Structures are given as C-alpha cells and as structure tokens.
Amino acid sequence: MAPIATLLLLGVSSPAFAAGTVAGTNIENTATASYDGPGGEVQIDSNTVTIVVDELLDVTVTSADPGDVATQPGAEDQVLTFTVTNTGNGTEKYALTPDVVRGGDDFDPALVSVVIDTNGNGVYDAGIDEVYAAGTNDPELAPDETVTVFVISDIPATPADGDRAEVNLAAEAETGTGTPGTSFDGQGDGGGDAVVGTTGADDDDSGFFLIQDASVALTKSASIADPFGGDSAVPGSVITYTLVATVTGSGTLTGLAVSDPIPADTSYNSESITLEGISLTDSSADADAGSFDGSAIAVELGDIPGGQTRTVTFQVTID
Amino acid sequence: MKRLILTLAALCAPYSAIAAEKVELSSDVYVEKVSHDANGRKSVVLEKPLKVVPGDRLVFILKYRNVGDRTAENFVVTNPMPSAVAFQETLDGTELVSIDGGKNWGRLKDLRVRMGSGYRDAVPEDVTHIRWNINDDISAGSQGKLTFRGVVR
C-alpha cells in the first residue's frame, strides 16, 4: 500500500453561495464501510437519511446613492436609488413601501412614484422603467438576485439651503415576516416550510435629499474721471461702472447673466467691458462672454458656485 | 405476544450467523438547537430534524456493530459529505479527509487548495469526504460510534 501523501495540491475549491442552499434541496447522507472477511473485502452501506432544506425568508434593502442627493426647492421628479436583494434561498416576491414623511429631518418631499429598474441599467429612465404598483408587479427575485428601485419625489418650494429630507424604502417578503425562526408551514419553495431568517424577512434603508440652494446679490458702483484729472460729472467725463455679483449658499447658480442698460445722456465706450479684469469684446457672435447690443451691455457669467463673486466693469462717457 | 417475538428472533439468529462476520452501519442526523433560558444559560439540544435552513448546525452520528461471530479486519468507514453541508469537525479528530471527491486523502492540516498561482490551506468547508481507518479490528459483538458536525450551506 502506497503511503498517503502528506501534501496534496489540488485545483478545486467549493463554490460559495451567499444565500445558501436552494430551498427544496434534499440533504441525503449515506456512509459506507469496508472490512476484510474470509471471502475478501466486504462493502456495506448505511441507511440514507434525508432532510429537506426549507426556504429561508430574507431581504436586504440598501440606499444606492453615494451620499446625500443635491436638489433645489421646487425641483420635480427627483430620484433616490435603492437596491433590494433576496438574501434568502428561495424565489420570493417582495412588497415595497416608500415613506417620505420621516421624523427628524427638515422637510418632506412629495412622493411621485416608486419605479422598478425594468431594463436593469441602474439609471432611472422615465417612461421606460415600470412604475411599481403594490400587489400588481411586486418584484420577484431569485436567491441572491438584486433589483434596483427608484423613489421619485417632488421637492416643495419651502425648504432652505442646507435642509435635508429622509426618504425610506421598505421591502417585505410576501410569504411573511416576523421574528427570526417564525415558520410558515408548507409555504416554502420546493414544498417545504418557509422560515423567517435573521433579517426578519423585511428590511428598509433611507436615502437623503440635501437642498443646495444659491442666491445672487448684485451691487453697482460708479467712479468718474473728468477730462481735467478730477472726478466731476461734466460732459466728456468717463464713468466706470462696476457690477459685483456675489453668489451665496451651498449650491451653484447656473446660467447666471448680468445686463445693464446704458444710462440716458451717456454714450457707451466701445470695447470697454471687462470680466474679472479681463477685456471682453462687444460682439455677441464671438466666443467670449460679453456683448453690447446698442442699448445695454450683457455678460454671460455661466455657472457660479456659492461663495464666489464675479466683477464686471464697463465705461460710458457723459454727452 | 412478547414471548412470540422473542421466539421469532431466536429463529432468525442462526441465519445471520451463517455469514461469519457481519457488520451493520447506520447513519443518523440531528440538528443542534441552541436555546437560552431565563437566566441566560445556553443549552444545546439535539433534535431530529425534518427540515433545516442554511446555517443550521447538523450532527451526524454513524453507528457500527459487528453482529457476526468473527472479527472484521481493516474496518474503514467513509462518509461523502452531502453537497449542501459544509464539514466542520469530527468528535474524535482521527479522521482523514478528501477535498477532491475521494481521490486523495490526508489530514486536513496537510492539504492545500490551489488559488490562482499559489495555494492556500484547506479549510473544513473544502472537505468532500471523511474517512475513519478504525485501527483496531472489530471483534464479534463490538460496536462503536462516529460523530461529525456540519453546517447547512
């Protein structure tokens, strides 16, 4: 008889299933024995014991947004993303319940709909992804399967910059929920019982909206230089107007533009617009942000984050 | 009535004795239910399971008995692990295990599993078969019990 190798190198490893053995699987155990008798080796089998793996009811709900989702007062169809995973070992349907009226937050969004990520791309596609209707299209998940769920809400006009709103999504196994170990006789996949697992067969998680609002304050000042080196407002004096746009708040103002009509009894000094000290042209056809249309100057400031200022100057001459 | 059964048993006995040595092997499985009483004391109860769920701890008990009248030599018991059960340990610790479906055997601590370009130590979950080479031959009438634990995957 060859000695038993003390070091065996093998290329197999057993697969791991998070949800465990599929419900309805039979676990069968049979031992064998051999021994030497007068007539040679004898082999015997034990009886086979069989036990059935019941369905374990478990579910995990997770907010899939990386952090607070920024939004603005009055914004419509704002999306929070969740995932619902069947962490049990049988195929199970789950009822979903959104809750936008949570305590301890600053405001309550208005629920629009709960939407299933029907096309599985992880992104809310309005009109393509199916709107969830409780009891009608409850997601049915195989063991370990995950579905993405979007909770769509409208933001009221009232919240202030920095306010947060909590939105919760709960999922419950349709077979039943309860304290771990609760059994639903004969209702498991594969004919066995369904047993509530460690999650209680229900779970929920919350996502958050954060109001990132911004507002702008515009101040205008003027300095005069007369033809004689003084600051008198006489014909021929040049007035330099300075417009300072100050953006405050935690958000970003998008597409901010300033314009200012040329005052009566003055004439615009052509090509005199500056932004942050850099000259802009009067043409509206070129790429730069400044323009003069014959009666007013305009500067496209674009997207300005809270905490920043933009300074625009232009000059006129008193007629 | 009881006397009649005894008589029948006596009649049957000579037939089993014809095979000079005859060993019987039985397999049983129990689930370990851990409960805590009002004082927080932990108690473990072995129950006869009809149904189990992933994570349940199972205790397998194999019983052998030489019901013949001669010694059975080189007695070896082999138990393939049910695929849905992860091996944990045996009670006696004398087992040999296989992690490749019964082709090669060794002590668990001596076995390695290939991981990409390297190897890792085998863990109980890798075990596919367990085997006891019972050192002593088992004499007529003697019996024994082998116990191992597993967890429903």
Q: What are the boundaries of each domain within chain B? A: 20-152
Using the Cα atoms of residue B87, residue B88, residue B90 and residue B96 in order, give the sign of their dihedral.
positive
SS3 content of chain A, % helix, strand, coil (to 5): 0, 50, 50
Closest CA to A53 of A22, A88, A87: A22
Q: How far is A12 from chain B (nearest CA, A)?
A: 7
Cβ of B125 under 8 Å from any chain A Cβ? yes
Comparing A16 with B50, which gets the higher pLDDT? B50
pLDDT digits (tens, 9 = 90+) for B101-146: 999 999 999 999 988 888 999 999 999 999 998 866 888 888 999 9
pLDDT digits (tens, 9 = 90+) for A282-309: 998 888 899 999 999 999 999 999 899 9
pLDDT above 90 covers a percentage of chain A that reads: 73
Q: How far is B3 from chain A (nearest CA, A)?
A: 29
Label residues A3-37 b or e (16+ Cβ within 10 Å = b).
eeeeebebeeebeeeebbbbbbbebebbbbbebbb
Tell me the C-alpha distance between A213 and A160, whole Å: 7
CA angle, residues A164, A250, A64, in degrees to nearest 5: 45
* Single-letter amino acid code for the residue at A234: V
Into which CATH architecture does domain B20-152 fall? Sandwich (2.60)
pLDDT at B50: 66
CATH of segment(s) A214-318: 2.60.40.1170
Q: Which residues are CB-neighbours of B101 under 8 A, at least 6 positions away?
A: B128, B129
Tell me the C-alpha distance between A287 and A280, whole Å: 10
Q: What is the mean pLDDT of residues B20-36?
A: 84
pLDDT digits (tens, 9 = 90+) for A113-170: 999 999 999 999 999 999 999 999 999 999 999 999 999 999 999 999 999 999 999 9
The torsion defined by the Cα of A64, A66, A67 and A73, in degrees rounded to 10, comes to -80
HSE-CB for A163 with a 13 A CA cutoff? 18
pLDDT at A7: 43
CB contact under 8 A, A32 and B77: yes
Between A and B, how many residue pairs show a Cβ–Cβ distance under 8 A?
A: 159
CB contact under 8 A, A49 and B79: no
CB contact under 8 A, B50 and A52: yes
pLDDT at B20: 57
Q: Which helix (H) or strand (E) holds A84?
A: strand A78-85
* Single-letter amino acid code for the residue at B109: K
pLDDT at A214: 87
pLDDT at A9: 42
pLDDT at A117: 96
* pLDDT above 80 (res A312): yes
* pLDDT above 50 (res B12): no
Comparing B41 with A180, which gets the higher pLDDT? A180
* Single-letter amino acid code for the residue at A102: R
- Do the domains A56-211 and A214-318 sit in the same CATH topology, yes or no? yes
Closest CA to A251 of A70, A68, A77: A70
| A16 band by pLDDT with thresholds 50, 70 and 90 | very low
pLDDT at B43: 78
What end-to-end distance do the CA atoms of chain B give, in Å? 48
Comparing alpha-carbon positions, the chain B residue that sits nearest to A6 is B110
pLDDT at A278: 93
Mean pLDDT of chain A: 90
ipTM above 0.90, yes or no: no
Contacts of B110 in chain A (CB under 8 A): 6-8
Comparing alpha-carbon positions, the chain B residue that sits nearest to A24 is B51
Q: Which residues are CB-neighbours of A231 under 8 A, at least 6 positions away?
A: A223, A224, A225
CA angle, residues B80, B84, B86, in degrees to nearest 5: 70
Into which CATH architecture does domain A56-211 fall? Sandwich (2.60)
Average the pLDDT over each of A115-124, A187-196, B2-11, B98-107 and give the range with the smallest value. Answer: B2-11
Q: Supply the DSSP symbol for A136.
A: T
- Residue of A19, A35, A51 with shortest CB distance to B49: A51
pLDDT at A286: 86
pLDDT at A40: 83
Q: What is the mean pLDDT of residues B34-50?
A: 77
* pLDDT above 90 (res A210): yes
**Domain definitions of chain A by residue range:** 26-55, 56-211, 214-318
pLDDT at A114: 97
Average the pLDDT over each of A110-114, A227-231, B5-9, B98-102 and give the range with the smallest value. Answer: B5-9
pLDDT at A313: 96
pLDDT at A82: 97
The string of DSSP letters for A269-319 reads -TT--EETTEE--S-SSSSSSEEE-SSEEEEEEEEEETT-EEEEEEEEEE-
Closest CA to B134 of B86, B100, B90: B90
The helix/strand/coil state of B9 is helix
